[in-house]
A and B are shown apart, each in its own frame.
Chain A
């Protein structure tokens, strides 16, 4: 495992544990994301990858361990978490746009209420970000009037309007119809090209292979292996990684495993 001890780490996670009741989802995670790096987290469902991502902006409170953002320790109880969260954009699987607000208002409400920007300035920044994701003609529509792909791009624009130093993506294309996935991935790819620091939980292996600087494979609440995409996806070292990848890349090849014992 490569060690990035430099203090300018965009995200530094150390000894992270997270339990829901008796059930331990994260069993000691250490990892770092450097500024400008794009890290894709892959792994089977239930492996804890979404929980890890949600711990990074403290939507889930870690049971133990520390999360630090460019040197600011989020897990310190005396840290103003609302202030730190402004610096982290997050995009959810289910978009979570505000359905009672128009697209433009979705983009301006936090700018105005949290950053205290004037209406005109907030709208200018909002419109610029809508153009960036290619849905500027929908600014006065309500979220329910948009396709899933458009909603997710608006959600990305909403996060970008806060001008975050880092973007988190929690399976951003998993709720989309297959033909709409490409538009969202294209926006994310451009964001990566522009140098945004990104942590992406995804099942899109082609995206991980082509865009990520580093791929992290998680299973059972631990990081099994991490490295360049050509290594983790192209030549995985661990059996668990190989099994997972063969299931994802060629789902039709999976065989029925019958349960033992009587079926009634």
Chain B
């Protein structure tokens, strides 16, 4: 069967819209909308979440995330520099660290830090410190690879120019190479921040007091009290309040870097 280009385009477009219409119709007629409204969009339950879901849960999510991200970024930079070191043992250590923490689930790291370390060393670690360490240790593994790639993406001539002006290796790294590397990796680092925001929900494993609840834990507690799924939806929307602006920021940064090149 031979079709003109116009006919083929029409047919293809027709099929695509047809599939979409079928899926929408199936959802509209197949779903029990009354139940869904009761389960997910209960206004009374929603109102009961406020203001604590913002003042406690959202704030805690942000605090846990920033603690983990800050520690992870610092450790990630150190690991990235170790990966690029001319001393082989440093490279091996960093590679081993990255492979390990990238490979094990964050869940296990939380459990190990929350229960394993206190038992093994007979110490009590502050809850916030535990979160910072657990999120940071995992985040650092990813960020180290990102930062290393960023440092290597800075043209070699930059280091040569800096050294030629009499800067030491370390000074040239700090003043010239690393600032440029961070500009290059800002978008992927922001992505890592978004991932950590969601991973911060694992903090529930440590056992939390009321004031330490973050969004996911807060939502699940409310779930038990209300026999409605609405709190989950509300908590989910609160995550979006954090991540959507970050996603927007990533796209803006990417557009800016693209223009600068």
Residues of A within 8 A of B (CB): 57, 59, 82-83, 85-86, 88-90, 92, 94, 96-100, 109-110, 113-115, 144, 158-159, 162
CA distance A88 to B179 in the complex (A): 25
B164–A88 touching, CB < 8 Å: yes
Question: Do A110 and B160 form a contact, CB below 8 Å, given A98-B176, A100-B183, A144-B260?
Answer: no
- Interface of B, helix, strand, loop or mixed by DSSP: helix
**Given A59-B164, A97-B161, A100-B183, list of 15 further CB < 8 A pairs?**
A83-B166, A85-B166, A89-B164, A92-B160, A94-B155, A96-B161, A100-B180, A109-B165, A109-B175, A109-B176, A110-B165, A110-B167, A113-B171, A113-B175, A115-B166
CA distance A90 to B157 in the complex (A): 12
CA distance A144 to B161 in the complex (A): 17
A90–B158 touching, CB < 8 Å: no
CA distance A57 to B158 in the complex (A): 16
User: How many B residues face the partner with a CB closer than 8 A?
Assistant: 19
Question: Do A59 and B165 form a contact, CB below 8 Å, given A98-B176, A109-B175?
Answer: no
CA distance A263 to B59 in the complex (A): 72
A85–B260 touching, CB < 8 Å: no
Q: Does B163 contact A (CB under 8 A)?
A: yes
Q: Does B11 contact A (CB under 8 A)?
A: no
CA distance A88 to B158 in the complex (A): 17
Task: Report the minimum CB–CB distance from A117 to chain B (whole Å).
Answer: 12
Task: Report the minimum CB–CB distance from A40 to chain B (whole Å).
Answer: 20
Q: Does B168 contact A (CB under 8 A)?
A: yes
B157–A94 touching, CB < 8 Å: yes
Chain A residues whose CB sits within 8 angstroms of the CB of B168 once the complex forms: 82
One digit per residue, 1 when the CB lies within 8 angstroms of any chain A CB and 0 when it does not, for chain B 155-197 equals 1011011111111100100011001100100000000000000
Chain B residues whose CB sits within 8 angstroms of the CB of A114 once the complex forms: 165-167, 171
Task: Report the minimum CB–CB distance from A152 to chain B (whole Å).
Answer: 13
Residues of B within 8 A of A (CB): 155, 157-158, 160-168, 171, 175-176, 179-180, 183, 260
Chain B residues whose CB sits within 8 angstroms of the CB of A113 once the complex forms: 167, 171, 175
CA distance A98 to B155 in the complex (A): 10
Task: Report the minimum CB–CB distance from B180 to chain A (whole Å).
Answer: 5
Shortest Cβ distance from A93 into B: residue: B157
Shortest Cβ distance from A81 into B: residue: B163
Chain B residues whose CB sits within 8 angstroms of the CB of A82 once the complex forms: 163, 166-168
Chain B residues whose CB sits within 8 angstroms of the CB of A89 once the complex forms: 164
CA distance A98 to B165 in the complex (A): 12
CA distance A254 to B6 in the complex (A): 54
Selected from B155, B158, B166, B180, the residue in CB contact (under 8 A) with A110 is: B166
Selected from A59, A97, A144, A162, the residue in CB contact (under 8 A) with B160 is: A59
B165–A85 touching, CB < 8 Å: yes
B163–A59 touching, CB < 8 Å: yes
Chain B residues whose CB sits within 8 angstroms of the CB of A83 once the complex forms: 166
CA distance A82 to B170 in the complex (A): 11
Per CB-CB distance, the 4 closest pairs between chain A and chain B, nearest first, are A110-B165, A86-B166, A96-B161, A96-B157
